Chains A and B, each alone.
Chain A
């Protein structure tokens, strides 16, 4: 059997494409969690982003409005979470669950009129370079701008957290809100900002799904990706670069299903579909087993409310 080297490149590119929404959502959630806030509403924010992007694209015809609108929708929905957890000091876990249930309901409600409408073609960059270098060309060229943004994001996130002053403040707030507050940092404000940023990234991740990856609106189209993104943050031990690796593994699992079916491997399709979820559990077990390591890398105040008497 001769393996076409460009075919290998195409497979890698398709794995990367399916990793994009996971990278975006995980990197957003990572910042939120680094500030000490556990937002379990990722799935809800993504699905809101997906319908907002698709609806705005259909109604306005503008891709730019649609992409930024989806991010804004993510910000708006995460504002509910921020207000509840930060201003009204509610429990993070319960509020996040409410956000997901609410988001799925609202998206289906809005999306009712957009089922079955075909999507638009999303422009790709560097298309003329697609046949220049074997193997590498399909990987490097001919993708949407969101794709390139997603693959740069772990590196910029890492730089932001490690090298910038604001990044340091975010980490300080997550690790010890009391001492950060004593240093004159407005903990609530920082956490608000981090939650809204997470919302924007989840909104973008959703828009990528409904506008670029499978350009159409399907109910519940995020299909648990938001939860996998949350698991990826744990997997990465809150290190953005490792999110990249994790997202590629899960992207790979998704793509393998299609190719296994195409080759005609006799494994029930349901088993292949369940694989990413099962692997997530196994990976979580392996990572979490070392409780000392987890404790060292988890933001110390993660999921705990902070209230300052004034």
Chain B
């Protein structure tokens, strides 16, 4: 007989093994879905997960997609660790893109080494401003940050839409919903000739290092950890709860804003309606899959980035709808949460006498 027993304390080894288990289960379930849809499961999975990254160009695309995911997820981990449910990173990304895009347009047809840093800074500030709304409403008006941050996503996309259709649209653009192209000085440099991977990846790596330092080497990181475990304990210890809420939202907003800058000054080069294929939402999954650990998030962002590429490849080669990517993302999170059960419980075999 098998009995389920609660563990005395969560298992450390399983904590980092369950994400791997979750990815494996997602592949199995994905294969099953492909089979039901009438595709050969192994072939479909190959087109989804291997073919897209088989060459140099594919690998560059993988890093290109993983960069914003990693950056946003790092920011979100500050919020999630301290029990703040910021799920509006997509809005903070969009607003960061709007502000930095606006600044980049001010420098239209101007060149200079100082332009790019200003544009990048503007994006971070934009993201922070937008994230400060749910943070301030939560701290001073007791308003649910989940709903506010989410509503602001819709608002940010409509602001962007208004700007690119109306006042910021390219005067020589035949009424296409897009702005002028940014000048070269406002673009992130490409790393290799012929590949789209750009210098934004260094922003993501810097975020990884800085966040690791804050989490594990500073008093602030310790405070966040305690607040995440128990708000009551944090209060008892005298931590300034309100300040911390605002701080983690600002960090998170800055990261999302930077991801927005990376998109528009990297591969896109202008503002248009679709600055992000829901990176802000997908990054929530990345943050969880990476266990809110900076190094874990690097791996998780690569895994989840494949679902974007795989969906595109599978659509081209097998006419598998591209939304399969989202289905995979949802499944990864389901399986991850489910396998967390093993963290807190263990199966005990009883009655089997030797």
Q: Which residues of A contact B (CB under 8 A)?
A: 40, 80, 84, 88-91, 93-95, 97-99, 101-106, 108-109, 112, 224, 227, 230-231, 234, 268, 270-271, 273-274, 277-278, 280-281, 284-285, 288-289, 291, 294, 309
Q: List 12 contacting pairs A-B, 8 Å CB cutoff, sorted by A.
A: A93-B146, A95-B337, A102-B329, A102-B330, A102-B333, A106-B323, A106-B327, A108-B323, A270-B161, A270-B165, A274-B154, A274-B159
| Interface of chain A, main secondary structure | helix
The CA of A268 and the CA of B168, in the complex, are separated in Å by 14
Q: State whether B142 touches A280 (Cβ < 8 A).
A: no
Q: Is the CB of A234 within 8 A of B161?
A: no
Q: Known contacts A90-B340, A277-B151; decide if A105 and B324 are in contact (CB<8 Å).
A: yes
- CB-defined contacts of B329 to chain A, threshold 8 Å: 101-102, 105
Out of B151, B159, B337, name the residue touching A90 (CB < 8 Å): B337
Cβ-neighbour of A98 out of B144, B321, B324, B330 (below 8 A)? B330
Q: Which residues of B contact A109 (CB under 8 A)?
A: 37, 321, 323-324, 327
Contact status B337-A234, CB under 8 Å: no
List of A residues within 8 angstroms of B207 by Cβ: none
Please report which residues of chain B, range 120-157, place their CB below 8 angstroms from some CB of chain A when the two chains form the complex.
Answer: 137, 141-144, 146-148, 150-152, 154-155
User: In the complex, how many residue pairs between chain A and chain B have their CB atoms under 8 Å apart?
Assistant: 126
Contacts of A288 in B (CB 8 A): 141-144
* Chain B min CB distance to A243 (Å): 15
Smallest CB-CB separation from A273: which chain B residue?
B158
Q: Which residues of A contact B326 (CB under 8 A)?
A: 101-102, 104-105, 108
**Which residues of chain B come closer than 8 Å to A284, judged between CB atoms?**
137, 143-144, 147-148
Q: Is the CB of B166 within 8 A of A101?
A: no
**Given A101-B282, A281-B143, 15 more contacts at CB 8 Å?**
A101-B326, A101-B329, A102-B334, A104-B323, A109-B323, A109-B327, A224-B151, A227-B147, A227-B151, A270-B158, A274-B154, A278-B151, A281-B148, A284-B148, A289-B143
Q: Report whether A101 and B333 are in contact in the complex, using a CB–CB cutoff of 8 Å.
A: yes
Q: Does B281 contact A (CB under 8 A)?
A: yes
> A274 and B155: CB pair below 8 A?
yes
B18 to chain A, nearest CB (A): 12
Q: Is the CB of A270 within 8 A of B142?
A: no
Let me know if B284 is at the binding interface, CB within 8 A.
yes
Which residue of chain A lies nearest to B156 when distances are taken between CB atoms in the complex?
A274
- Residues of A close to B141: CB separation below 8 A: 285, 288-289
A301 to chain B, nearest CB (A): 16
Which residues in window 79-96 of B have CB below 8 A to A? 85, 87
- Shortest C-beta distance, B288 to chain A (Å), equals 6
Considering the chains assembled together, what is the distance between the CA atoms of A273 and B165 in angstroms?
15
